[in-house]
Structure 1
Amino acid sequence: MATNMADSFSYDTLFSENSSDTPLNVVKHAKYDFAVAYPAPETLPMDGLIQALRTAVDSDSMKTAQGMAYYPHQLGSQELREYTSEKLTSDRGFTVGADEIALTNGSGESIGLVIQALTNPGDVVLAEEFVYMGTLNQLRRSGADIRGVAIDDGGIIPEALDEQIAELTANGSKPKYLYTIPEHQNPTGSTLSAERRKAILDIAHRHRMPILEDDCYVDLRFEGETQPAFRALDDSGIVVYVASYSKLLAPGLRLGYFTAAPEVMRRALGFKQGSGPNQFAAMAIEGFLRNNLDSHRDSFSPVLRAKRDAMVASLEENFGGSGAEWSTPEGGCYVWLTMPEGADIASIRDEVLEQGVGYVAG
């Protein structure tokens, strides 16, 4: 006779020390949702992606080991890596071979692999004092001691960074590396100038501190000049470069990539589970971008600019003269609003959400 153990069994003493009891919340999107950076649906090139995928499926290579017969290579689709190599040369000013690039399930996986490869519990890791929550969570899970670096409207302040590293090093807590989003930063929208990038790179070399460059928003510029990547300013291997196709095309595709010094690539990929990312997504992206990158940028850039202009105009209309300040980014998805002293925007967030407006309190 079977014994019913449903009421007596418990996992309470079996969980790992690294696990956390995280609520499984159902995402609630507001009608006007400024809490999540997702694109306007009308900018998604669905027809082009579907046609690119249809072309790939009909090709002879689809039936080979390089197509769909085998699991993807650990580095991901050869064709998309070759295209990525070409794109980095033309768009970002540095050259790496296809076999020096690893495709991942979004840029978040790239960042996570590098964090695992470089971070021990207790290591000091630097990042902008306001920065992407997803990376902060990954750093926390690694046990990193995260320290915020002072920023202004132009991003990281090099002099403050240099002083902070020197002080931490003098106290026996030399930073392991710097994580930064230099182009259209999340959440402030700031972009580091070429001059600041060169200064920060010089600081990194003097202190022998790697830079983890998250360039996932670089393709979303709609005015002004794109700044050179940290990686393009350096050939020593001190920069680990991460970027994404998800932001450029469609977040649901979840396809990013990274490139780094060979020893970093080997260690990071040692934490990767299984093979490379979805071949269907890779085929659709490569097939679409080879013929449509410029036209796609031309189609979504005016939409992003119009949304930025509407947001800034609304802030001026409703908060002008109140002491509030906000950024006016030249690209990306983020406008950073700073309220006057004493304003508690976190406390009214749920009430505002009930009125159909979502935002993230800093």
Structure 2
Amino acid sequence: MVNLVIMTINYSKHLSNNAPLLVEAPAGLKADVKYIFSVTNTVPDCIDPTEYSKAAVTAINDNSLSFGPYPPPQGFEPLRELLVGSLLKNRQITCDTEDIIITDGAGGALKMLVNAFISSNDVVIAEDFTYLGTLKMLLEKGAEVVHSEIDENGLIPEKLDQRISSLISENKKPKFILTIPVYQNPTGITLSLDRRHELLKIAEKYEIPIIENESYADFRIDGPPLPPSIKSLDTKDLVIYISSFTKLLGCSLRVGFMVAPQEVLSNLEARRPSHLTVVTVYEYLKNHYENHAKKVQSLLKERRDRMVLELKKHLPEAEFTIPNGGMMLWVKMPEKINSWEILDDAVAHDVKYNPGGVFRSKRDQNNYFRLTYSHNNPDEISEGIRILASVFKKHLDS
């Protein structure tokens, strides 16, 4: 016999005044489909159950005593020591373990900063299109996200300077400049070296900190070497640096980190991942980091090249540049196309992508859309792009 429960309390009336604001998003993004071109998932073929299991067993056997107490406030020190070395080698960042905090992915690091420093009506500068997860956090908090123009070399310094000057004249000085300077999400653009220097000059001129999110720096596929991180060029503590192992090792693992001045770290409410997960990630990375990254890069190249081939063949109306790394293509369509409205039609055909508007605070510019190529294998990418092209062609011809 099933007991029926009759609700007598309306819990919506008990919500905090600080509950997140509602942010508009297409319902189709939550759909369960075969061809997932909407999420930068970890490449499935790179998840090695045998080696992950060995790392987990070693983590438990060698660190069991550390599971009793709460973990250190800034996270497992051996992982922070590993990061000190890898950041210097790969991104030219000089730091100590005390400058690093282990976080619940890059998203967790950003959430900590938003909670600590952003209030309703605060202004944050971001690129013309910016990562939908961070944008959602800011909009939910009631922040005003102001987009600044980009081109093929990233943020345009002159436009950024003008935008900040104009905002200050309106008594709306930005709290932060938010940038994803390597294989930017969603555009795939990498900020040039000279513009990194210019960005630092602007940040110093107006005394506005930079949040540098380099979550895709491990995914260089081809092209020239990456320029040094903005953090490595910073001599004035202007830059808060964020990155993650989430995309590299597994999105469900949720292990990221932040490098920041103590004045920032001391004001954060920690969002720590599972200590066992952190120790397991450390045990795996200390033996496999470089080889694992190379394998991911190779598989991403195969997937990227297949998606480019199929788009050129089946949707010639699409304009895009081929990124040298990362997990996504940024596509521009003719003005008549509204990718937000077309998404439901695509989902009905078992395909989903990200409309351009989800990367904009005003939910506009929907003749753009983002396609990710990390989740599906090359043959599935071919099938999915053919289907998606037929959906878009129907709307182009209507």
- Do they fold alike, i.e. is TM over 0.5? yes
Match of 2:112 in 1: 113
Aligned-residue offset at 1:347:
1.6
Counterpart-to-counterpart distance in 1, 2:199 and 2:315:
35
- Measured in 2, the distance between the counterparts of 1:45 and 1:206 equals 48
Quote the residue 1:354 is aligned against.
348
> In the alignment, what sits opposite 1:272?
270
Match of 1:38 among 41, 47, 55: 41
Q: What SS class does the counterpart of residue 304 from structure 1 fall into?
A: helix
| CA deviation after TM superposition for structure 1 residue 361, in Å | 0.5
- Quote the offset at 1:74 in angstroms: 1.7
Q: Does the 8 A contact of 1:105 with 1:277 survive in 2?
A: yes
Task: Please tell me whether the aligned partners of residues 153 and 190 of structure 2 are also in contact (alpha carbons under 8 angstroms).
Answer: yes
Does residue 329 of structure 1 match 2:323?
A: yes
2:71 corresponds in structure 1 to 72
Q: Displaced runs of 4+ in structure 1, greater than 3 A?
A: 4-8, 20-23
Counterpart for residue 100 of structure 1 = 99
C-alpha displacement at 1:242, in angstroms?
A: 0.5
Query: What are the residue-to-residue correspondences of 1:153-172 with 2, within 5 Å?
Result: 153-172=152-171
Structure-to-structure mapping, 1:237-316, within 5 angstroms: 237-268=237-268, 271-272=269-270, 276-316=272-312
Aligned to 2:64: 63
* Alignment partners' CA distance in 2, 1:109 and 1:246: 11
The answer to whether the aligner puts 1:142 opposite 2:141 as a matched pair is yes
Q: State the AA in 1 paired with 2:297.
A: S
**Is this contact kept in 2: 1:153–1:327, CA < 8 A?**
no
Amino acid at match of 1:33: I
Conserved 8 A contact 1:72-1:277: no
Gaps of 5+ in 2: 357-398
2:15 aligned residue: 15
Partner of 2:182: 183
Q: Which amino acid aligns with 2:205?
A: R
CA distance in 2, matches of 1:195, 1:57: 46
- Residue 218 of structure 1 and its aligned partner are, at CA, apart by 0.5
Query: For 1:216-227, what aligned pairs fall within 5 Å after superposition?
Result: 216-224=215-223, 225-227=225-227
The TM-score, its normalising length taken from structure 1, stands at 0.91
Aligned to 1:210: 209
Letter in 2 for 1:257: F
Determine the structure 2 residue equivalent to 1:319: 315
Selected match of 2:32 from 29, 33, 50: 29
User: Shift of the alpha carbon at 1:214?
Assistant: 0.6
Cα deviation for residue 256 of structure 1 reads: 0.5
- Whether contact under 8 Å (2:42, 2:246) holds in the other structure is no
Tell me how far apart the structure 2 counterparts of residues 98 and 106 of structure 1 sit (CA, whole Å). Answer: 18
Could you tell me whether the CA contact under 8 Å between 2:319 and 2:333 is conserved in 1?
A: yes
- Distance, in Å, in 2 between the alignment partners of 1:142 and 1:89 is 34
2: CA distance between counterparts of 1:85 and 1:164?
35
Cα separation, 2, equivalents of 1:279 and 1:233? 32
Residues 123 and 22 (structure 1), Cα distance of their counterparts in 2 relative to 1, 3 Å cut: closer
CA 1:317–1:13 in structure 2 vs 1: closer, same or farther (change >3 Å)? Answer: same
Following TM superposition, by how much is the alpha carbon of 1:22 offset from its aligned partner in structure 2, in angstroms?
6.6
Residue-pair matches, total: 348
Residue aligned with 1:13, SS = helix
TM-score, scaled relative to structure 2: 0.83
Partner of 1:48: 51
- TM-superposed CA distance for 1:163, in Å, is 0.9
Verify the 8 A CA contact 1:18 1:141 in the aligned structure 2: no
In structure 1, distance between residues paired with 2:247 and 2:32: 19
CA RMSD of aligned residues (A): 2.0
SS in structure 2 opposite 1:309? helix
2:270 aligned partner, one-letter code: K
Kindly provide the CA deviation profile for residues 271-328 of structure 1, in whole angstroms up to 9, marking residues without a partner as x: 236xx421221122111111211211221211101111111111111222x3x31121
